[in-house]
Amino acid sequence: MSTEVVSVSAVSAEQQQSPSAPAQQTAVEKVNLLGMSRPQMEKFFEDMGEKKFRAGQVMKWIHQFFVTDFAEMTNISGKLREKLEKICEIKAPEVVHKNYSKDGTRKWVFRVGDGEGSLVETVLIPAEHRSGLRRTLCISSQVGCALDCSFCSTGKQGFQRDLSQAEIIGQLWMANYSYMEDVPVLERERSVTNVVMMGMGEPLLNYDAVLNSMRTMLDDFAYGMSKRRVTLSTSGVVPKIDQMVKDIDVALAISLHAPNDELRNELVPINKKYPLEQLIAACQRYIAKDGNESSRKHVTIEYVMLDGVNDYPEHAQQMIKLLKNLPSKINLIPFNPFPHAPYGRSSRNRIISFQKTLSDAGFVCTIRQTRGDDIDAACGQLVGQVADRTRRAEQWKKKVAQQNEILRSQG
């Protein structure tokens, strides 16, 4: 695997120390430029003794023309291209599986390590919108997740590792490239219109890599996305929400899922560390005070509808109270079942009456459409099976086996 950010001085120092080094020593791991944000790449070029504006040029080739071969970067001198070729590469994560559905949904599975469970998924969901066709990409930020929400299959895998910047931005790169593979380089365009950090993992627990990746999404030299079209979803890592206010301006979604601490402690265990009062206060701080920042006029509240668990009228009433001082839009998510999940999806009627209660109270409340069912792709529930060997996955498998045993003995 390529190393993400190796300083050039380190690379050249190694080469300088042993000018006549044997072959294996000169085969230094190449630096992957795919994941670098512009400031990082500018520093990289400066360290190399090059002008920093070269970074912008190279970024355009990578993220706007989807070029991975330095030879195709025609506005870069031959000498510099040669130099780059020697020490750098542009390498997206390996696609082990892809599936393009009839309804336009596309899904990729990437291998990001050697283990059986070192796979992450990315889903692209198209939808007609007032402003035209939207292509929303749901990006993963970690392999597995440490937070163990009780209704989430990623949580059941346990945490394996953070994704690198190249692995995060590589998902966006690959999705865009998939539409442009057969188009001549100079005619290529960016196709993904929206990004949601709602794939596997908790993005705020891989903060720096996610932050730099989102900067690349917004950067005019890369994807140039509008800040309203990049959404970070979190289960509520309060200090990092405050940090985001200082670092970047993107849309924020909160995985609420329960309107009181007792139930939320059970469904979203990080609530024990950062209870609702703290979470709502952090959301209020996130809302832009001057009202100019259109991405921060409201937060999106995600609420997964679990049959007989959090979908009673009293829960809707508690939501109204909880959110009364927070500019928010509520998105009800029909639960997406996975094998042996301990929950069922709320009935359509129940979801609609929940929505009505909230709408009648003045909230904008939508129901997420379940899409891409024919390829088993749905944002927020990306992994089809628990396939790794972490302790939590083992415990989960044991629990499922025990349940099956009980069911069998009950005939």
Chain contacts with ligand SAH (rule: CB under 6 A): 149, 151-152, 198, 202, 233-235, 255, 302, 304, 333, 335-336, 380-381
If you ran DSSP here, which 8-state letter would residue 150 be given? T
Residue 121 known to be catalytic: yes
149 near ligand SF4 (CB under 6 A): yes
Q: Catalytic residue, from 121, 138, 283, 365: name it.
A: 121
Residue range at the interface with ligand SF4 (CB under 6 A); choices 8-16, 150-158, 240-248, 392-400: 150-158
Q: How many CB atoms lie within 10 A of CB 407?
A: 9
Residue 138 known to be catalytic: no
> What φ, ψ does residue 386 adopt, rounded to 5°?
-85, 110
Residue 304 binds which one of ligand SF4, ligand SAH, none, with CB within 5 to 8 A depending on kind?
A: ligand SAH
Q: Is 152 annotated as a binding residue?
A: yes
**Cα separation values, 79 from 37, 75, 214, Å:** 24, 12, 32
Residue 148 binds which one of ligand SF4, ligand SAH, none, with CB within 5 to 8 A depending on kind?
A: ligand SF4
| E-only strand ranges, 42-199 | 88-89, 94-100, 106-111, 119-129, 132-138, 142-144, 159-162, 194-197
148 phi-psi bin (left φ>0, alpha ψ -120 to 50, beta other): left
Q: Which of 50, 162, 202, 302 forms a contact with ligand SF4 (CB under 6 A)?
A: 202
Q: Which is nearer to ligand SF4, 93 or 155 (CB)?
A: 155
Can you tell me the distance from the alpha carbon of 118 to that of 106, in angstroms, rounded to the nearest whole number? Answer: 20
User: Nearest approach, Cβ of 100 to ligand SF4 (angstroms)?
Assistant: 25
DSSP string, 107-121: EEEEE-SSSTT-EEE
Can you tell me the distance from the alpha carbon of 357 to that of 354, in angstroms, rounded to the nearest whole number? Answer: 5
User: Nearest approach, Cβ of 9 to ligand SAH (angstroms)?
Assistant: 37
235 near ligand SF4 (CB under 6 A): yes
Q: Which of 37, 122, 136, 154 forms a contact with ligand SF4 (CB under 6 A)?
A: 154
Q: Is 235 annotated as a binding residue?
A: no
Q: With b meaning 16 or more CB within 10 Å and e meaning fewer, what string describes 327-340?
A: ebebbbbbbbebee
Residue 311 binds which one of ligand SAH, ligand SF4, none, with CB within 5 to 8 A depending on kind?
A: none
Tell me the pairing of strands 194-197 and 132-138. parallel
User: Nearest approach, Cβ of 221 to ligand SAH (angstroms)?
Assistant: 27
Residue 322 binds which one of ligand SAH, ligand SF4, none, with CB within 5 to 8 A depending on kind?
A: none
Q: How would you class 299 by CB atoms within 10 Å of its CB: exposed for 0-12, middle for 13-18, buried for 19 or more?
A: buried
User: Nearest approach, Cβ of 134 to ligand SF4 (angstroms)?
Assistant: 23
158 near ligand SF4 (CB under 6 A): no
Q: How many CB atoms lie within 10 A of CB 64?
A: 17
Q: Is 202 annotated as a binding residue?
A: yes
201 near ligand SF4 (CB under 6 A): yes
Query: Which element (helix H / strand E) includes 299?
Result: strand 299-305
14 near ligand SF4 (CB under 6 A): no
Q: Calculate ∠ Cα 278-284-287, nearest 5°.
A: 145
Q: Which is nearer to ligand SF4, 145 or 377 (CB)?
A: 145
Residue reference for tokens 């009505």 = 356
Can you tell me the distance from the alpha carbon of 176 to that of 192, in angstroms, rounded to the nearest whole number? Answer: 6
Which residues are catalytically annotated? 121, 379
Annotated binding site for S-adenosyl-L-methionine: 201-202, 233, 255-257, 336
Contacts with ligand SF4 by CB under 6 A lie at 145, 147-149, 152, 154-155, 201-202, 235, 255
Annotated binding site for [4Fe-4S] cluster: 145, 149, 152
Annotated binding site: 145, 149, 152, 201-202, 233, 255-257, 336
